[in-house]
Chain A
Amino acid sequence: MNNIFNEMNAPDGAVRPHYSRFQEWLAQMPPEQIAHKRAEADSAFHRYGITFAVYGEDAGRERLIPFDVIPRIIPADEWVKLEAGLTQRVNALNAFLHDIYSTQRIVKDGLIPAEQVFCNAQYRPEMQGIDVRNSIYAHIAGVDIVRAALPDGQADYYVLEDNLRVPSGVSYMLEDRRMMMRLFPELFGRYNVAPVEHYPDLLLDTLRQVAPAGVDDPAVVLLTPGAFNSAYFEHAFLAQQMGIELVEGKDMFVHDETLFMRTTQGPKRVDVIYRRIDDDFLDPLTFRSDSALGVAGLMSVYRAGRVTLANAIGTGVADDKSIYPYVPDMIRFYLSEEPLLLNVPTYQCRKKDELSYVMANMEKLVVKETHGAGGYGMLVGPASTQAEVDDFRTRVKAAPEKYIAQPTLALSACPTFVESGIAPRHIDLRPFVLSGKEVRMAPGGLTRVALKAGSLVVNSSQGGGTKDTWVLEK
């Protein structure tokens, strides 16, 4: 991997134009002042409780997601293209979800094999024939994008995965910006950075737009699994920013085909749920009966069109890694457009010839479980030992349909503060795409950075950090 794209420096070492003013600023900053500001950021994040809950032994202690003060800067023209591509992609994914839960045209036309959809664990037969408002299923999508070069090619933006279930991380996007403005206000005089602070307003507006028909002033709530969930900070933060109730399943009940929450002023009707719990736990009468996180009877209200769930149930079938290779076809099929964003070439191990290629070349590939997430259940061939590769080979051979493989991408790198000073570290980007009456997003998204040298895994559960993401205004 010698062709890593560096976001700040061109291959000849020159600073790219959109980073030049930042570089000038950094060069004149005394190192001890930067160190002081970095310590200030840590202490402020701790004080505000912008943390990850830690389970078990150390309950009560909370861990910070490391924050890096060097921003990831995206030039205006690049963002224009990304935004158009994201809008197109999410439109197609919503069209796909609507299709497979109604007429199933794409399967009947033979574009996607039926078993790929209907035998998928994320496909929810319960959703068949349910009308959702505006035919929108994935109201909030967190699309993971990387800038990367294929082993022989030019660097470009690629979609790595479409997170359409309960994508998280947007609170870090907002807090990172708040922190940068607090630490280095002078930088925002040097750059025209597109604001992101209105994201909670956009989100609330989106949720209100998809309220059940006939409800003029919908009551919107955020459903959390509770204070012991690792993303609880984000749930509480978003509810507070939107001024809506943060509810748990036990706060609500179903009566007369209507959903209510228990308040100090008596039962109050609920119209829209921004839910941050998985499908399986939503309603013990329909899904997992041992779930104490959901509301008994919720599905009956949902089926009657008297409450909106955002995201809808069953969106996982569209962001599954086994469906991912078909997204460009979906864009052509539903929108009659050519895809604007690239898909990473993907080998489906369920196909015989592709499987044999994967088995023969595993050392060079990234192999992923189709249902895996969070950086678990994957093999990065070039970074693994022979034993690890052999172990994965056995696993893939035993159940090839559970795996896909992709060429190892040389993710782009951005200068980052590490122990030895400033060094390039691999990054990705998660924009949060909102779909209500139209598709909208806050410019940029969350940039995650792999803090270990050479590591390609940016997930916070695997020691990743975050950076503020600047989209420059024209």
Chain B
Amino acid sequence: MLSRTADHLYWMARYTERAENMSRLLDVSHRMSLQLPGAEIGYWGAALGITGLEPVYTAKYGPITGANVLRFMAVDLDNSSSILSSLRSARENCHAVRGTVTSEVWETINTTWLEARDSVSAKLQAGGPESALVEYLEWVKFRSHLSRGVTVGTMLQDESFHFIRLGTFLERADNTARLLDVKFDELAPKEGEGNEYYEWGALLRSVSAFEIYRKVYRDVITPRRVAELLILRDDMPRSLHSCLKEVHQILALVANARSDETRRRAGGAYSRLQYGRIEDILELGLHRYLTEFLDDTADLGNRIAQDFLVPMS
């Protein structure tokens, strides 16, 4: 297929996934700020930190407040990483290749953008109540589930499909790693202060993993197990392990004459997760481990672009 077509499909999926994960992040920040009044500024600052957009925020809004950070990250079109911007980018990418996706996929992505822009965001941009915002975050997650379901349920499993899935899992790997990194940085030092149940619980919920945790460990929530669950479990759909498993498999399906090295590197990252131990990860330092992981996914992203999406010749 055309490289540009693959590029649009890949980014359509990445932006859709990014919008969903941003909703998850804002959701957990919001829950924490409700449960632990007083510490909220720290949470919102961390939420900003995840995207590296603090300078942009400060220039526009000044001091950090929950309401402003929410607005900045959820509906501000000046912020290219906001949920609304991501939904727009997903729609623009889909529009450019609407003949390649099924009409159901196009309708879903297009409707998501139109509704987000017209109804939901209008309320919020006018400084609406927080409950509207929480509803919006839920709705974004729901629409992302819908996009994914419609893709899997209606598309031929050809190259188009593979590049959509490649975008989804690479973005999810990146987003889960960032979420873990920020939250551990913020929560770990406070171990033993008594609040961790709520805090780790909120983190787990943000990646739909609270019930999974209970099912898998049948025990109290500890940071070590949370890390293990979100990094190493191969049956946890948002873990780094299962994301890289998909990326590695898809790269085999779309392989071309110059993609061997990319596949080899994806295989390396995958096997480190497959055979990794949480003890070793914690000993190395979680932050350092995740930083290296994020470097790996960024490298894979660049290589995928060069091999398939925007080749120089």
Contacts and interface: CB of A to CB of B under 8 A. Distances in A.
Mutual binders A and B: yes
Interface of A: 47-49, 60, 226-227, 236-237, 239-240, 245-248, 250-251, 253, 255, 261-267
Interface in B90-146: 91-92, 95-96, 98-100, 103, 106-107, 110, 113-114, 117
A245 B2 contact: yes
B220 interface: no
26 contacts: A47-B107, A48-B103, A60-B91, A60-B113, A60-B114, A226-B96, A227-B92, A227-B96, A227-B98, A236-B98, A237-B99, A240-B100, A246-B2, A246-B5, A247-B2, A250-B4, A251-B3, A262-B3, A262-B4, A263-B2, A264-B1, A264-B2, A264-B163, A264-B308, A265-B256, A266-B311
Contact of B313 (A49, A60, A267): A267
Interface residues of B, number: 30
A48 B98 CA distance: 10
A162 B123 CA distance: 52
Contact of A49 (B91, B92, B103): B103
A341 B106 CA distance: 44
B115 to A, nearest CB: 12
B103 A261 contact: no
Nearest to A236: B99
Contacts of B257: 265-266
A83 to B, nearest CB: 31
B114 to A, nearest CB: 7
Nearest to A227: B96
Contact of B99 (A47, A246, A253, A262): A246
Contacts of A266: 256-258, 311
Contact of A262 (B2, B92, B95, B107): B2
Q: Which of B5, B6, B92, B257 is packed against the most chain A CB atoms within 10 Å?
A: B5
Q: Which of A239, A246, A251, A261 is packed against the most chain B CB atoms within 10 Å?
A: A246
Nearest to B309: A264
Contacts of B1: 245, 263-264
The 9 nearest A-B residue pairs measured at CB? A236-B99, A240-B99, A262-B3, A264-B308, A227-B96, A265-B256, A264-B6, A251-B4, A227-B95
Given A60-B91, A227-B92, A246-B5, 7 more contacts: A49-B103, A227-B96, A239-B99, A240-B99, A262-B4, A264-B6, A264-B256
B159 interface: yes
Contacts of A265: 256-257
B307 to A, nearest CB: 8
Chain A interface helix/strand/loop/mixed = mixed
Contacts of B36: none
Nearest to B93: A227
B188 interface: no
B216 interface: no
Interface of B: 1-6, 91-92, 95-96, 98-100, 103, 106-107, 110, 113-114, 117, 159, 163, 254, 256-258, 308-309, 311, 313
A264 B99 contact: no
Nearest to B88: A60
A60 B308 CA distance: 29
A255 B313 contact: yes
Nearest to A265: B256
Contact of A261 (B2, B6, B92, B254): B2
Contacts of B5: 245-246
Contacts of A267: 313
B3 A253 contact: no
Contacts of B4: 247-248, 250-251, 262
Nearest to B8: A227
A47 B313 contact: no
B313 A253 contact: yes
A239 B254 CA distance: 23
Contacts of A263: 1-3
Q: Which of B99, B106, B107, B256 is packed against the most chain A CB atoms within 10 Å?
A: B99
Contacts of A226: 96
Q: Which of A47, A48, A240, A265 is packed against the most chain B CB atoms within 10 Å?
A: A265
Nearest to B259: A264
Contact of B254 (A227, A246, A253, A264): A264
Nearest to B163: A264
Contacts of B100: 240, 246
B191 to A, nearest CB: 47
A315 to B, nearest CB: 26
Contacts of A60: 91, 113-114, 117
Contacts of A237: 99
Q: Which of A226, A227, A247, A264 is packed against the most chain B CB atoms within 10 Å?
A: A264
B207 to A, nearest CB: 31
Contacts of B91: 60
B3 A264 contact: yes
B84 to A, nearest CB: 13
A49 B256 contact: no
Contacts of A251: 2-4
Contacts of B107: 47, 49
A256 to B, nearest CB: 12
B159 A264 contact: yes
B106 to A, nearest CB: 6
A429 B306 CA distance: 49
Contacts of A250: 4
Nearest to B308: A264
A49 B106 contact: yes
B157 to A, nearest CB: 15
B245 to A, nearest CB: 22
A336 B5 CA distance: 49
Nearest to B98: A236
Contacts of A47: 103, 107
A291 B54 CA distance: 39
Nearest to B3: A262
Nearest to B111: A47
A49 B3 contact: no
A47 B258 CA distance: 40
Q: Which of B2, B96, B159 is packed against the most chain A CB atoms within 10 Å?
A: B2
Nearest to A61: B114
Contacts of B311: 262, 266
Contacts of B113: 60
A250 B110 CA distance: 25
Contacts of A245: 1-2, 5
Contacts of B308: 264
A49 B101 CA distance: 13
A248 B309 CA distance: 14
A110 B1 CA distance: 52
A48 B257 CA distance: 37
A333 B107 CA distance: 53
Nearest to B7: A264
Nearest to B313: A267
A288 B161 CA distance: 38
B58 to A, nearest CB: 31
Nearest to B95: A227
